Amino acid sequence: MPEQKTAQLAEDLFRREAAQIVATLTAQLGTHRLELAEDAVQESLVRALQTWPYRGIPQNPAAWLTKTAKNFALDALRREQNWQHKETQITTEQERWLTQENESTNEGNFADSTLRLIFVCIHPQLAIEAQLALALRIVCGLSPAEIAAAFLTREAAISKRLVRARQQIRELRLPFAMPDKSELTERLDGVLATLYLLFNEGYKASAGSRLIREELCHEAIRLTQLLCEHPATAQPRALAALA
């Protein structure tokens, strides 16, 4: 496959898988290491663009990106001072990561880690503007420029908002878990607003050569369907959003 087509395939795959990989890493690293999870996923794309054109595309590209991101995160942990004398723990953690199956779910949890991460971002201790911007950036993969277009504001303002929100997430050490049923309902409006803005960007793209970005529309619909199927969030306003 020509180098240009391979690079385009890698970028398309990355757009589809990045949020899921960030969510998976955040679940394992903790929300205080959210930025490390983001960096690891970005690094996996860089390495894909460097190697795939010459070595060929892996049989399971998504798994390759996930494993590469996990290895990058583990290497970063090794370099941290408080991990320097914990090689046994690192080895155990690595084995757990590489063999871990998908988490089982129960009534109080969502199977989709992307949706769980949206609920983490829509946290009442963050300002509503910060909640939405963070969810759109980290979970939905929109650029600061695209988020700025959604909020009718400047890109620089969104970038500053994202920096502050990430700092708050790190300091608060928010659990990567679904809130209880009552709090879940309270956050639902923010989650629906995020999915609405994601769909809106897909239906009428603010940047790029394509007017419609079908992958964003499909993801917004998929996540909204998950909300409608969950007993704690299958409420009229969620069903109305899907309609």
% of the chain beyond a pLDDT of 70: 78
Average pLDDT over residues 218-241: 78
Local structure of 240: helix, strand or coil: helix
∠ CA 17-21-23, rounded to 5°: 120
DSSP state letter for 103:
P
Would you state the pLDDT for residue 49?
86
- pLDDT for res 104: 40
Query: Picking from 48-62, 178-192, 195-209, which range would have the lowest pLDDT averaged per residue?
Result: 178-192
Report residue 228's pLDDT band, with 50, 70 and 90 as the boundaries.
confident
Looking at 30-154, list the stretches that DSSP marks H as alpha helix, in order from N- to C-terminal side: 34-55, 61-79, 87-99, 113-121, 128-134, 144-151
Among the ranges given (58-62, 110-114, 176-180, 217-221), the one the predictor scored with the smallest mean pLDDT: 110-114
Predicted local confidence at residue 240, as pLDDT: 66
User: To the nearest whole number, what is the mean pLDDT of the chain?
Assistant: 81
Distance (Å, whole) CA 179 – CA 3: 45
The pLDDT of residue 169 is 85
- How far, CA to CA in Å, does 27 sit from each of 30, 97, 129, 175? 6, 11, 24, 9
Q: Which of 60-74, 101-115, 217-231 has the lowest mean pLDDT?
A: 101-115
Whether pLDDT at 87 is above 70: no
Distances (CA, A) of 135 to 72, 119, 149, 151, 165: 23, 9, 15, 13, 10
Could you tell me the sign of the dihedral formed by the alpha carbons of 8, 13, 14, 19, in that order? positive
pLDDT at 2: 60
| pLDDT value of position 144 | 93
pLDDT band at 102 (very low <50, low <70, confident <90, very high): very low
The pLDDT of residue 184 = 82
- Please name the amino acid found at residue 226: L
Average pLDDT over residues 98-104: 47
Cβ within 8 Å of residue 103, ≥6 positions away: 27, 109, 111, 113
Q: What is the DSSP letter of 106?
A: -
DSSP 23-37: HHHHHHH-GGGHHHH
Q: What angle, rounded to 10 degrees, do the helices at 61-79 and 34-55 form?
A: 130
The two three-digit tokens of residue 205, written as one number: 């793209």
Give 168-191 pLDDT, tens digit per residue. Answer: 888 888 777 777 777 888 888 899
- pLDDT score of 163 more than 90: yes
Question: How far apart, in whole angstroms, are the C-alpha atoms of residue 113 and residue 131?
Answer: 17
- 3-state SS, residue 112: coil
Question: Measured between alpha carbons, how far is 145 from 149 in angstroms, rounded to an integer?
Answer: 6
Tell me the mean pLDDT in the region 213-236. Answer: 82
Residue count (the chain): 243
CA distance 32 to 21: 16
Report the C-alpha gap between 83 and 80 in whole angstroms: 5
Cα–Cα distance, 57 to 27 (Å, whole number) = 27
- pLDDT at position 103 is 45
pTM comes to 0.76
Q: Residues 128-141: what's their mean pLDDT?
A: 90
